[in-house]
Structure 1
Amino acid sequence: MASSFNVHDAAGYERLMGRWSQKLAPLFIEFAGLANGEKILDVGCGTGSLTFALTKAADLGEISAIDYSSVFVEAANRRNTDPRIKIRQADACALPFKDAMFDRAFALLVLHFVPEAGKAVAEMRRVVRPGGAVAAVVWDHLGGMAGMRMMIDTVAALGESGRQLRSRYCFQPMMQPGEMKRTFIHQGLADVTETDLMIRMDYQNFDDYWAPIAAGEGPLGKYMTTLDAAERRRTDAAVRDAYEAGQPDGPRSFANVARACRGIVP
C-alpha cells in the first residue's frame, strides 16, 4: 500500500520535518509508555527520529523499524550503530512479522499518509502480544499547524489548485477529533486514550522555513513541483510576505499540535 508522502532526499526531509519529529518523539514515548527489556516495532520510521529516541528512553531488548520508502530505510541504516535495531523496507498494511511478537508497536507521523490507515492499525494490533500497546501520533493539519497553514492558506488564496491542496492537506486520514480513537476501538483495541501533544517549530529565517518545500519535499513541496516558473515566483513572493508579516526577515516560531492515541491489545 503506497504512502502518500513525497520524499526525494533524506537530508531535505530532515530539514522539512525530521528535526521537528525528533522534538515530538520524546513526548510521544512518554504518552505511549515504555519499559526495559521490551521488543518494540516502529512503523514508518522515516530517518529514525523515533527509532533512535527509543534507545534513549529505556534499556530495550530489540527494536524493529520499517518504512515504505527505500530512501528513508537507507538513511536510517546509515545512522544506525546499535545492534538491537533492525531496519528494513516494508508495508505498514502488510507487516512482515509473526503474530504477537512485540510488546509495543508505535507509529510517529505516519498514519495520515497511509491510504488505508485502519488496515495499518489492524496490522500493528496483530503483531503486538496481548497486554501490549499500540500507539500512534499524527499532526493536526486543520487546526494545529500554524506555520504550514500559513503556506496552505496563502496558495489557496492564489488559485484553484491551491484550494484543492488545502482540502487534501487539512482532511488527511486520522486527523479529525476522535478519528484515531474510533479506528483503534474498531480494530479491537481496549482502554483507548487520545490526547494532544505540542511542540514549537523555530525557524532562523524565511529560507530556513521555505527551502525544503521549494525543493519539492513533502506534500507541500510536491505541490510546488506542479507550478510553472511564473507561478513559482508568485507563490514564493506571497509565502515570503506571509512569513515576514510586514517585519524584516528573521526568526519565527510556530506552535504545532499533534493528536496521539494509545490502546491495549486484549
Structure 2
Amino acid sequence: MSSTFVAKGADCYDQYMGRWSKRLAPLFLDFAGVADGERIIDVGCGTGSLTFLIPDRANVATIEAIDFEPQFVEALIQRNTDQRISARQGDACSIPFGENYFDRAMSMLVLHFVPTPELAIAEMLRVVRPGGIVAATVWDTFGGMPSQRMFWDTFAAIEATAHVRRDPALVRPMTFPGEMAGGFKAAGLENIAEVTLTIRMDFASFDDYWFPLINGQGTLAAFFSTLPQGTPERVQAAVRNAYLTGRPDGPRSFVSAAWAVKGTVPTRLR
C-alpha cells in the first residue's frame, strides 16, 4: 500500500504539522478513551504525538505504534523511554498483528492519506477484540482549515496550474461530514459516534507560517521552482498580504477542525 503523504524527515514533519498534532492529540484521546491494562495500537503514529500521551492517561499494558514512514518510526524509537511502547514500520492496510490482539485501535491524522481508507478501517477492526474500540480522526481539509485555504486559494487565483495541487490537498478521503462515520458503519462497527475537534494553529509571524508550509512535507517547494519566473514571489507577496490583513507582522491564530469517529467491535463478527 502506498501513502499520499510525502515525508521529508521527522524534523520537517514536527515543524510543519507535528506541532499541531500535539495539540489535537489530547482532544482525540479524550474522545477515543483509554483504560488501565489495555493493549493499544496507534496506527500511523508519526513521531509520537499520540503515542507518548497515552501512558499519561492510563496505566496501559502495551502500546504498539506503526507508521508507513520508517524515518518517523526511527524518530519515535529514539525519543521513547517507556518500555511499554514499541514502534515498527507498518502498513495501515495490512496491520502486522493477529485478530483480536488489541483492546483499542487509534489512528490520528492518517486515514485521509491512505488511498484505500476503507481497508485501513477494516484492518483496525480485525486486530481489535469484540467489544473493543476503533477510533480515528482526520483534518476537515475542505472546510475546517482556513490557514491552508488562505494559501491554496490565493495561489490558485494567481497561478492557473495551482489547482492541480490545491484540489487534492483540500479534497481528501474521509474528510467530509459523515464520510468517515459511514466508513466505520460499512466496516461493521457499532455504536458509532462522530464529533468535531477544534484546535488553534498559532503562528509567531508570517515566516513561521510560510516557510514550514513551503519547505515542510510534500513536494511543494519543488513545484514552486517550476513556476514561471516571478510567480513564486507574487504568490508569497499575496499570501503575506492575506496573512497581515493590513496589520504589522506578528502572531496570528487560526481555528482548525478535525472529524473524529469511534465505534465498537461487535461480538457477532467473531
TM-score of the two chains, using structure 2 as the length reference: 0.95
Match of residue 113 from structure 1: 113
How far has the Cα of 1:152 moved from its partner?
1.1
Match of residue 34 from structure 2: 34
1:1-266 pair list within 5 angstroms: 1-215=1-215, 217-219=216-218, 222-228=219-225, 230-266=230-266
Answer with 191-200 or 205-214: which moved more: 205-214
How far has the Cα of 1:212 moved from its partner?
1.4
Residues paired across the two proteins, number: 263
Contact 1:224 1:232 in 2 (8 A): no
Contact 2:6 2:217 in 1 (8 A): yes
Distance, in Å, in 2 between the alignment partners of 1:128 and 1:28 is: 18
Identity of aligned residues (%): 51
Answer with 52-61 or 158-167: which moved more: 158-167
Contact 1:157 1:163 in 2 (8 A): no
TM-score of the two chains, using structure 1 as the length reference: 0.96
- Structure 2 segments unaligned to the other structure (5+ residues): none
Note the alpha carbon deviations across 1:55-105, whole angstroms, 9 max, x for none.
111111100000000111111111111110000001100010010100000
CA RMSD of aligned residues (A): 1.1
- 3-state SS of paired residue (2:188): coil
Contact 2:103 2:129 in 1 (8 A): yes
Distance, in Å, in 2 between the alignment partners of 1:214 and 1:7 is: 13
Contact 2:18 2:47 in 1 (8 A): yes
Contact 1:93 1:119 in 2 (8 A): yes
- Runs of 4+ off more than 4 Å: none
Answer with 87-96 or 229-238: which moved more: 229-238
- 3-state SS of paired residue (1:143): coil
Contact 2:129 2:265 in 1 (8 A): yes
Contact 1:156 1:165 in 2 (8 A): no
Structure 2 counterpart of 1:42, one-letter code? D
- 3-state SS of paired residue (2:52): helix
How far has the Cα of 1:116 moved from its partner?
0.3
Structure 2 counterpart of 1:248, one-letter code? P
- Structure 1 segments unaligned to the other structure (5+ residues): none
Answer with 191-200 or 233-242: which moved more: 233-242
